[in-house]
Amino acid sequence: MSVYYDVTSKSLNKKNEELCGDKVEVVNVEDGVIVVLSDGLGSGVKANILATLTSKIIATMVKSGATLEDTVDTIIHTLPVCKVRHVAYSTFSILKLTTDGKAYLTEFDCPGCIHVHDGVAYPIEYTEREVGGKTIKEAVFDVEVGDVLTLISDGVMYAGIGAVLNLGWNWESVRDFLEDNWQEETTSARMTSALLGACEDLYMRQPGDDTTVATVRVIPQQVVSLFSGPPRFKQDDERAVVDFMSPEGLKIVCGGSSANLVARVLGREVTTDLNFDDDLPPIAHIKGIDLVTEGVLTIRQVNVLVKNSLENPADPENIKALDAGNGAAMIARILLEHCTHLNMFIGKAINPAHQNPNLPVDLSIKIRLLEELADTLRAAGKIVRIRYY
């Protein structure tokens, strides 16, 4: 079974610094994903530039097919060593994960990756070798659905030093925290927020170093298909519905006219749920369709819920909003937590109701709202494909 990688990263800037000296690059490739975390020496603008250069060079070379050895050699010879401290200007971790469940890890002078399986941290067996006069640690291992892999910068290990803790966290403390907070259904975003929140508490909201967490959760591929809007030409109705029903996975229909079209082509009935949220129209039911909702107002609210949750997944208000039980909350939860691949089937027929100048302007832009949702989900690492009719 092919697997998919749910990746999230987040950083805390060192106090009084506008820029972060850590940088994470996530590159989706044909056979998986590449995650690069780079930590620039010091903090502020200089560290940000060094970390950005390092991560961009690595991500670009690996994506272009360069070997890890050539990539590491290029980085080591491109970035000089600090004459005062005699250490590299930037350290890095490179994690390449393939859809067949293989992990390839390369680390240079940074805290080690933490691999949690079934709530227990698995030791990673490294080998060491010299590249360009520098010692590089490498590992190759298997991952399974439910596993969580976490890359951290030095700021995570130093959290609380001289304040809450005398010597700060150590690697084992971070590992224990991840073991204690592992849950099979927890998203990478919530895991990242939990660990970074703990660091912020230890720093007493005054980070003494740039602090970055990048979390990868291994999940099975989950396909969702969303149909919204009748085709521009009526003769395409049946083809659009057949296309929509063909992929595996969950089926969502948005819009009253869309629901009637799908029901007509499938020879089924639409029934409305009388229990609904006061702010949004009710959901409906069609046999064989997982969720049927109203169109524009619901999609607009889905955009808000998805963006808020991606921005701050651990916020109690955002979690509560996803549990609201209305159509928008149901769609948002599916897209955030039960979707890796989204197929969008969008009809371009003009709904006369949406052209009424007395209605709110956002009622005339359903396609733009759907495309905005697609862009947001792509930025979050989802694979989104759109077909227009």
- Domain locations in the chain? 3-219, 223-388
Separation in Å, CA 241 to CA 114, 118, 346: 45, 40, 11
Calpha distance 153→158 (Å, rounded): 9
First CA to last CA distance, the chain: 32
Helix (H, G, I), strand (E, B) or coil at 186: coil
> What pTM was computed for the model?
0.79
pLDDT on residue 365: 79
Neighbours of 266 (CB within 10 A): 16
Superfamily of the domain at 3-219: PPM-type phosphatase domain (3.60.40.10)
Question: Based on C-alpha coordinates, what's the Rg of the chain?
Answer: 24
Residues 6+ apart with CB under 8 A from 177: 195, 198
Calpha distance 332→306 (Å, rounded): 6
Check: CB of residue 366 under 8 Å from CB of residue 228: yes
CA angle 17/20/22 to nearest 5° reads 150
Query: Which regions of the chain are under pLDDT 70?
Result: 1, 79-89, 161-168, 276-278, 350-364
pLDDT on residue 85: 54
pLDDT on residue 363: 42
313: closest CA among 108, 22, 10? 10
Calpha distance 113→149 (Å, rounded): 7
Tens digits of residue pLDDT in 297-331: 999 999 999 999 988 887 888 888 888 889 999 99
pLDDT on residue 69: 76
